[in-house]
A and B are shown apart, each in its own frame.
Chain A
Amino acid sequence: MRLSREGRQGLTLISPTLAYALVMLAAPLTMVVTFSFWTQNYLDLDTTLTLDNYREAWGTPIYQVLLLRSLKISLIVTFVTVLLAFPVAYFLSFKVKRRKALWLFLITIPFWTSYLLRVFLWKVILGYNGVLNSALMGMGFIDEPMTFLLYNLNAVVLTLAHAWAPFAILPIFVALEKIDRSLLEAAEDLGDGKIRQFFRVTLPLAMPGVVASTLIVLIPTIGDFITPKLVGGTDGLMIANMIQIQFGKANNAPLGAALAITSMLVVASISVVIFLAGKKFGGKVE
């Protein structure tokens, strides 16, 4: 194959990244896929190809429950995050006239501490003797600590939504920034008030950003295992925690691999649905 000069240049430019991606992504992925068709016999692996792992992963109630719960949690998290991110992005794009860079900078402040630390902080805030309970009791709003704050699904949703908010804000902000402001004036000129302008012009044109935000939040949250483990209690455990157990304590890597592949397929198909839905609702945008 003969390559043009630009072609060679381009390949040279991306080759470190490409090599890295191949080694660090494709290779482990191939391994996981392969693993999922093998069987664990205590200390050694039986490399005869089999679908038993998938049968167990899809057929056992506990895995079904965990997968559905993961899906439910990440869908709620995504919905909450994107819903809260949109007004922030809108404010940034339409209302902030000066120092936008400063505002963007402020939004990234949560990243200055590690993810783990942030999850712990939520534990401190939501705990039995935590900041929230102490404060409310101190002010006399409640007599005894609320226990529904921590170690359940709500805590997982709250923590994840907070952690992923900046990731959701930025794509929506970019999409809103790209909207030609004269389109809104045209809509106004043609009779639309502010609310109609928003639903007929702003929102459809911001749809690519909304879809990007949705996917950016949805995909990693399904596989998150730190947050559910730290603040989720038993009700908040998710599929990733089970995968971790299979690869670790349970010493059943093939089953873990089958669970991982299963959740990957589920995420991928949901992503495709969201992508197509967004495209349909947002119309054709170059």
Chain B
Amino acid sequence: MTGKDPRAIIRMQDVTKFFGSFQALKGITTTINEGEFFSLLGPSGCGKTTLLRMIAGFDEPTDGAIYIGDEPMAGIPANQRPTNMVFQSYAIFPHLNVADNVGYGLKRKRMSRAEIAAEVEKSLAMVDLAGYGKRAAHELSGGQRQRVALARALVMRPKVVLLDEPLSALDKKLREQMQVELRQLQQSIGITFILVTHDQEEALIMSDRIAVMFEGQIEQVATPEQLYRHPVSRRVASFIGVMTLLDARATAQPGNTVRVDIPALGTVDLPAARVPEGIDLAKVEKIGVHPEMLTILQDEHETAERVVEAEVASRSYYGDMTYYSVLLPGANAPATISMRNTFGRSVIDPGAKVKVGWGQDSIILFK
């Protein structure tokens, strides 16, 4: 998507959904671009799966419209939409072998047996399952089932592939491997993928853009980096990564800067570029700090923009990283600081007095 103007493949206009009196979606308006890996991220019950199912055609919006490639989808059933889904349970047909599962949708098209077999094999090769066609469904491992489900969707050559928490049933190692593989596969074939997930890390790793949803509404649509570095609200911030919230007050300064007064750290002037648009400075009560944006200075040579004295309360050792819980002066709750255990850096014991380095980039202001 570099250089070219992104073209919309899916447009949603005020999509609303009621289940009885419960409003699952409260007016979703967004655009998903061609060739994009787009994630719908949110806690369970936020409406992300409902939205995906409406794109697939399993549910109809109560109000509003969904367009796929400029065509309105109202009244078009799932079996006639240019989308294919990878189900959370994978929904592998237990009475068919791998090849028949993958070729299931092709049997309806006017293709000869040989053509179908060739397409199936090509699709299986794409997901690293070449030669598995004769396997029975129950002989597959969880990861293989996931790949078959993906091959079954890809073989249909859909405009959009919909993935409903496809990795949640896999163990951690396999999940991480599949995240990378899925991303690479999507980039190499260039089809739009829409992923539903509640796992923020998964969304960050795989997506071009992420829509964060809460209670039936999209709160922010942004690239992973934007989302992580500049979450628009505390809700988004608390959902993306670990974040320490510190009491603060903000006041406007001449020259378009904002002065942020943080009792636990000190006072800092932020340039206009660092301040979210439409922020009401009078309402700012807390600022956010990511664990890696604070540093524990270990010897005299290490420097930082600003330094504050603190005490280590506890630590969690992860091997490559150590997460410290640090008591900042005047803060009511400890701040989390992550440090890479690089060469020459020793792990600090609880109770030690340390110098904590920070700067204006450490601070995140919310709307």
Chain B neighbourhood of A285, CB < 8 A: 94-95
B110 to chain A, nearest CB (A): 12
Find out whether the CB atom of B91 lies under 8 angstroms from the CB atom of A180: yes
Interface membership of chain B positions 49-70, coded 1 if the CB is closer than 8 angstroms to chain A and 0 otherwise: 0000000101000000000000
Cβ 8 A contact of A187, one of B56, B104, B137 = B104
Which chain A residues numbered 88 to 119 have a C-beta less than 8 Å away from chain B? none
**Would A204 and B95 be within 8 Å (CB), given that A188-B78, A189-B78, A191-B79 are in contact?**
yes
Chain B neighbourhood of A191, CB < 8 A: 79-80, 105, 108-109, 156
**Would A190 and B84 be within 8 Å (CB), given that A182-B89, A284-B136, A286-B138 are in contact?**
yes
The A contact surface, by secondary structure, is helix
Asked whether A248 is an interface residue with its Cβ less than 8 Å from the other chain, the reply is no
Asked whether B228 is an interface residue with its Cβ less than 8 Å from the other chain, the reply is no
Interface residues on A, range: 20 to 34
Chain A neighbourhood of B94, CB < 8 A: 183, 205, 283-286
Chain B neighbourhood of A192, CB < 8 A: 79, 108
Find out whether the CB atom of A183 lies under 8 angstroms from the CB atom of B93: yes
A282 to chain B, nearest CB (A): 6
B120 to chain A, nearest CB (A): 13
Find out whether the CB atom of A284 lies under 8 angstroms from the CB atom of B58: no
B148 to chain A, nearest CB (A): 11
Find out whether the CB atom of B138 lies under 8 angstroms from the CB atom of A186: no
Which chain B residues numbered 71 to 90 have a C-beta less than 8 Å away from chain A? 77-80, 83-85, 87-89
Cα distance, A214 to B96, chains bound together (Å) = 23
Find out whether the CB atom of B93 lies under 8 angstroms from the CB atom of A185: no
Cα distance, A200 to B85, chains bound together (Å) = 18
Asked whether B152 is an interface residue with its Cβ less than 8 Å from the other chain, the reply is yes
* Closest CB pairs A-B (n = 3): A190-B105, A283-B95, A186-B91
Q: Which residues of A contact B (CB under 8 A)?
A: 180, 182-183, 185-193, 196, 200-201, 204-205, 282-286
Q: Which residues of B contact A (CB under 8 A)?
A: 56, 58, 77-80, 83-85, 87-89, 91, 93-96, 104-105, 108-109, 136-138, 152-153, 156
